[in-house]
Structure 1
Amino acid sequence: MAAIANRRTIMNLFSRPTCIHSHRSRIVLAEKNINIDVSSITGPNLPEDLMDVNPYHSIPTLVDRDLVLYDSRVIIEYVDERFPHPPLMPVDPVMRARFRLALYQIENDWYKIAETFESSKEGKLTPKLKKMLRESILSSIDGFTFQSYFLSDDFSLVDCTVAPILWRLPLYGIDLGYNAGPIEEYMDLVFSRPSFTDSLTELEQEMRS
């Protein structure tokens, strides 16, 4: 995925093609229909222009004129506030707090396991980590059951964060089983969104090919 384009201001996202944090950033940018140049980084060597602007040399990094952001949560919240339509967070402060808590829990419980996979030389999760992730996702099934999207009838930053994990389940060797009907329906709904399909790199497409 070289670019997500329309008529708006061009920004640049430094992204890795299989990085889960990069993926959720790309989903949000695609959902907002923003004109964005995506610099795909493969291998250990980083481009000098990234190292010049990001003291942590981390990916994803978003460059918007003189502003440089290098944490995926900061990136997605900035993009949602900078381009408010369509909104990806509720207006009500109580609901916003609940959504932020959900983001924290997903990042702490699911993303940390995904990061272990991405850093693994063997390219796989241990049976213990697979069991932990599977059980954690299934324990959240109510969040997928009573609304169209996770915790809401509106697509949100939480969905942009959940979707990359669920997309990678076959790669992780995780089968949610026969009790996961609401989650399967949720995946069908989210994976068919144009913003999600537009966000996928070739390597991410191959995860479910």
Structure 2
Amino acid sequence: MVQNPRLRNALTLYTTADDIQCHRARLVLAAKGVSYERVLVDHARPPQDLLDLNPYGSTPTLIDRDLTLFDTAVVCEYIDERYPHPPLMPIDPQSRARLRVAAVRIEKDWLPEVDKIRAGGRPADAARKRLREQLLSTVPLFKASRFFLNPEMSLADCLVAPVIWRLPWLGVDLGREGKSIVDYGERLFHSQGFARSMTDEEKAMRPVHEQA
């Protein structure tokens, strides 16, 4: 793969401004307290230097010296292993596998509904209803542990939290039934790491008083 000379000695993340998967990667970096160069790109028109590095032009794309990584799960697991403190995955294989499967379910079940809502039009209303139902079906999981399926923050939370943050912006109201999910989100949203992970576009998805 072609390497951009200006990035050979820098940890760099190519990211779009308001994509959940990109937010996921930025939240992992923020949780680790890692300094990096953030390059905001237009997903519809990826710059040539990104295409030189990643033939798909997809985001997030992570550059660590001569290493280029894409696919969000690959990027996030690499960051967790490259910067081991604090660890964002449990030690035992079963717990790790359970969190990985949960992330796959979210990618296949929740994120397509988010995309339909963002696309607008008639399908958006049905997508809002389906997303709300899917989220409410997970309420027992949010009640069972301080974090998602784990007593400590994990890579799964770095995917779940950006979804929860966007719910008001997407027009999805969980109501009283979803209080445990809302409370979970508030615990994460008020952390310094979550604030560092956001772009200006993402901060604007909620009123300022909700971010205080």
The two structures have a TM-score, normalised by structure 1, of: 0.90
Partner of 1:69: 69
Alignment of 1:50-199 (within 5 A): 50-118=50-118, 120=119, 122=120, 126-199=124-197
Q: 2:177, 2:105 → 1: CA distance?
A: 22
Q: Is the 8 A contact 1:10 1:34 kept in 2?
A: no
Cα deviation 1:137-172 (Å, max 9, x = unaligned):
100011111211111110011100001110110111
Q: 1:38, 1:97 → 2: CA distance?
A: 30
Q: 2:87, 2:50 → 1: CA distance?
A: 29
Letter paired with 2:198: L
Q: Is the 8 A contact 1:23 1:199 kept in 2?
A: yes
Q: 1:25, 1:116 → 2: CA distance?
A: 22
Letter paired with 1:102: A
Q: 2:123, 2:44 → 1: CA distance?
A: 22
5+ residue gaps, structure 2:
1-8, 208-212
Q: 2:122, 2:162 → 1: CA distance?
A: 16
Instruction: Say which structure is richer in helix.
Output: 2
Letter paired with 2:176: Y
Aligned Cα RMSD in Å?
Answer: 1.6
2:135 alignment partner, SS class: helix
Q: 2:103, 2:126 → 1: CA distance?
A: 23
> What is the CA-CA distance between 1:38 and the residue it aligns to?
0.3
The two structures have a TM-score, normalised by structure 2, of: 0.89
> What is the CA-CA distance between 1:117 and the residue it aligns to?
3.9
Q: 1:124, 1:196 → 2: CA distance?
A: 33
Q: Give the 3 Å change call, closer, same or farther, for CA 17–91 of structure 1 in structure 2.
A: same
Q: 1:199, 1:19 → 2: CA distance?
A: 12
Q: Is the 8 A contact 2:147 2:153 kept in 1?
A: yes
Partner of 2:4: none
Q: Is the 8 A contact 1:117 1:124 kept in 2?
A: no
2:62 alignment partner, SS class: strand
Number of paired residues?
A: 199
Q: 1:59, 1:179 → 2: CA distance?
A: 34
Partner of 1:25: 25
Aligned partner (choices 199, 202, 207) of residue 200 of structure 2:
202
Q: Give the 3 Å change call, closer, same or farther, for CA 124–154 of structure 1 in structure 2.
A: farther
Letter paired with 1:179: E
Q: Give the 3 Å change call, closer, same or farther, for CA 42–56 of structure 1 in structure 2.
A: closer
Query: In terms of mean alpha carbon deviation, does 185-194 or 37-46 score higher?
Result: 37-46
Q: 1:185, 1:76 → 2: CA distance?
A: 25
5+ residue gaps, structure 1:
1-8
Q: 1:182, 1:13 → 2: CA distance?
A: 33
Q: Is the 8 A contact 2:17 2:199 kept in 1?
A: yes
Q: 1:154, 1:33 → 2: CA distance?
A: 17
Partner of 1:6: none
> What is the CA-CA distance between 1:43 and the residue it aligns to?
6.3
> What is the CA-CA distance between 1:87 and the residue it aligns to?
0.5
